[in-house]
Amino acid sequence: MPKRSILHMFDPMPHNSPFDINMALDTGFEVLMPYNNVKLDNIHGLTQDVIFSRSPSGIKRTGIFIGGRDIGLSMDMTNSAKQAMVPPFEVSILADPSGAFTTAAALVACVEKELKEKHNKNLSDCKALVFGGTGPVGIATGVIASIAGANTSLVDHQSIDTANDAAKEYNRRCQCNLTGAKAGTDEEIISLIADIDIIFCTAKAGIQVLSAEVLTQANQLRVAGDVNAVPPAGIAGIGANDNGVTLDTPKSATGIGALAVGNIKYQLQHKLLELILETKKPVYLDFRDAFNMAQKIV
């Protein structure tokens, strides 16, 4: 009897994400096994239970998905799972905590494409701000943009210390070059955006971070991307379905909305899960792989 495909879903949160479960099922995994409240020190034992319970043919039909909301913990869990592998008993791993890696990869890839096609610029030519930059999607966005060469700052709306601490931690973890910034008022935002080429908005849903009046002060802005699909938009003038809409800024910047990004994110997560399901050799997929694939999709 052919071995059924199984995806073991390790999550440190009280509940596994229904979004991830639906995506995995629609990709073609026959059996999904969600585990919640998983601790870092559980990962080694759980992984070895996964790999030693199936024959080499079954191993090829087995994968691990690591979720949660803390991307640092997700990275640590991924490393622990990799260290637990005993060749030839190895299975593929996809880490995508809170959908942060695939959402951030899709956002940066969409902005990169718009930069090249409309403004003849590369990420490495640009200064970028990530509003909502200390949340999971914000940090992942900042890391990806920084590794791609953009001079990137994570913006927290309450505390410069929080922003600086996040920048330092992920510079250490990911060998990038992030800085921190604070912008809790329109005056602080205007000061920050004066010479910025790119704005990524990954703040909480339903909160407008940049008003139309504030945007008129973004003298160098080329592209703005917003992942907030809940009205009002995080960036004024960008609708959820917009993909290259012209904004009222000095250089006629263009904007990308949440559903345009979300379309790429959906395709991206599906392809990464599909890769786990179809690969003959184990793969370990994180934000780097997500961005590489997102660039191909856009």
User: Cα–Cα distance between 270 and 238 in angstroms, integer?
Assistant: 26
Same domain? For 157 and 244 the reply is yes
Residue 31 lies in a domain: yes
Same domain? For 114 and 202 the reply is yes
Same domain? For 68 and 184 the reply is no
CB 293 within 8 A of CB 105: yes
What is the Cβ-side half-sphere exposure of residue 59, based on CA atoms within 13 angstroms?
20
- pLDDT at residue 206 in the model: 87
Question: Which residues are within 8 A (CB) of 27 and not within 5 positions of it... i.e. 6 or more apart?
Answer: 270, 273, 274, 277
Region of residue 98 (phi > 0: left; psi between -120 and 50: alpha; otherwise: beta): left
CB 166 within 8 A of CB 141: no
Last residue within a domain, chosen from 78, 95, 112: 95
- pLDDT at residue 205 in the model: 87
- pLDDT at residue 1 in the model: 65
Same domain? For 172 and 251 the reply is yes
Residue 1 lies in a domain: no
Residue 223 lies in a domain: yes
CB 9 within 8 A of CB 22: no
At 134, which CATH number? Answer: 3.40.50.720
- pLDDT at residue 24 in the model: 97
Distance from chain centroid for Cα 84: 25
Same domain? For 110 and 62 the reply is no
Residue 185 lies in a domain: yes
User: Cα–Cα distance between 216 and 252 in angstroms, integer?
Assistant: 10
- pLDDT at residue 213 in the model: 95
CB 291 within 8 A of CB 111: no
Residue 295 lies in a domain: no
Last residue within a domain, chosen from 75, 95, 115: 95
The secondary structure of residue 293, as a DSSP letter, is H
* Domain range enclosing 73: 6-95
At 58, which CATH number? Answer: 3.40.50.10280
- pLDDT at residue 55 in the model: 85
Digits of tens for pLDDT over the chain (298 positions)?
678 999 999 999 999 999 999 999 999 999 999 999 999 999 999 999 999 998 888 888 999 999 999 999 999 999 999 999 999 999 999 999 999 999 999 999 999 999 999 999 999 999 999 999 999 999 999 999 999 999 999 999 999 999 999 999 999 999 999 999 999 899 999 999 999 999 999 998 888 999 999 999 999 999 999 999 999 999 999 999 999 999 999 999 999 999 999 999 999 999 999 999 999 899 999 999 999 999 999 9
Same domain? For 55 and 109 the reply is no
Q: Which of 149, 157, 153 is nearest to 167 (CA)?
A: 153
Q: How many residues does the chain have?
A: 298
Q: Collapsing DSSP states into helix, strand and coil, what is residue 82? A: helix
Q: Collapsing DSSP states into helix, strand and coil, what is residue 246? A: strand
Same domain? For 32 and 120 the reply is no
User: Cα–Cα distance between 32 and 26 in angstroms, integer?
Assistant: 11
Q: Which of 205, 208, 220, 151 is nearest to 181 (CA)?
A: 151
Q: Which of 144, 167, 145, 173 is nearest to 155 (CA)?
A: 167
Same domain? For 132 and 249 the reply is yes
Residue 279 lies in a domain: no
Same domain? For 89 and 130 the reply is no
- pLDDT at residue 56 in the model: 80
Same domain? For 125 and 248 the reply is yes
Residue 181 lies in a domain: yes
Instruction: Write down the pTM of the prediction.
Output: 0.96
User: Cα–Cα distance between 29 and 103 in angstroms, integer?
Assistant: 22
Count of domains in the chain? 2
Last residue within a domain, chosen from 58, 74, 95: 95
Residue 121 lies in a domain: yes
Same domain? For 113 and 226 the reply is yes
Same domain? For 15 and 128 the reply is no
User: Cα–Cα distance between 162 and 40 in angstroms, integer?
Assistant: 24
